[in-house]
Amino acid sequence: MKNLNKLIIITGPSGVGKGTIVKKLLDRDKDIWLSISATTRNPRMGEKDGKNYYFVSNESFKEMIDKKEFLEWAKFSGNYYGTPLSKVNEKIEKGFIVLLEIEVEGAKQIKEKFPEALSIFLLPPSKEELEKRIRKRGTEKEEAIQKRLSRANYEIPFSSKFDFALTNHDIDETVKAVFNIIKSGNSL
């Protein structure tokens, strides 16, 4: 893969605001492209196959692993998630800045394989605030919320392993900060 300074990893615990921030970045700059992941989790209300995720069976996901079709993949809260490699390559070659919005294990894998990729870890202002945000989103049942919160306790201490760690107090401020990092990272 070429031009890896155009590969941007946005990571951090579930509920920290990664999705909202990424959407705003995409609205802001048409040269930014978001990779669509494959997942074995069920679609949430309103989610569309090929738009939010490629929703696949466990079997198909394992086949994709065997065929080495993923840039990275990880198990998160009982489901598999992975970044399809071919589109990422294609978009980087076309000159796009490619964003990966992924959980921490996958982000660590990419950082190890491709240290030139730029990685940003988003932190919540506090664990209480993270829980409030996950509950407010209203997309998970209690059991899934608990799993995500305990996973967050494992993930948060890794924030210092990434190029940047930003606390998401205010969405617009964080979007500005991430945008500046992306843009300066790309002009180096």
From 21-29, 75-83, 88-96, 166-174, span contacting ligand 5GP (CB under 6 A): 75-83
Distance CA 143, CA 154 (A): 17
Q: Any contact of residue 155 with ligand 5GP (CB under 6 A)? A: no
Among 40, 101, 118, 123, binds ligand 5GP (CB under 6 A): 101
Q: Any contact of residue 103 with ligand 5GP (CB under 6 A)? A: yes
Are residues 76 and 105 in contact, defined by beta-carbon separation less than 8 angstroms? yes
From 23-31, 79-87, 88-96, 126-134, span contacting ligand 5GP (CB under 6 A): 79-87
Which C-beta is closer to ligand 5GP: that of 18 or that of 111?
18
| Minimum CB distance to ligand 5GP, residue 86 (Å) | 14
From 86-94, 96-104, 125-133, 165-173, span contacting ligand 5GP (CB under 6 A): 96-104
Distance CA 73, CA 105 (A): 8
Q: Any contact of residue 37 with ligand 5GP (CB under 6 A)? A: yes
Distance CA 154, CA 103 (A): 12
The residues with which 119 forms a beta bridge, in sequence order, are 9
153, exposed or middle or buried, with CB in 10 Å at 0-12, 13-18, 19+? Answer: exposed
The residues with which 49 forms a beta bridge, in sequence order, are 53
| Minimum CB distance to ligand 5GP, residue 187 (Å) | 27
Beta carbons within 8 Å of 48's beta carbon, 6+ residues apart: none
Where does this chain bind ligand 5GP (CB under 6 A)?
14, 18, 37, 41, 72, 74, 76, 81-83, 101-103, 105-106
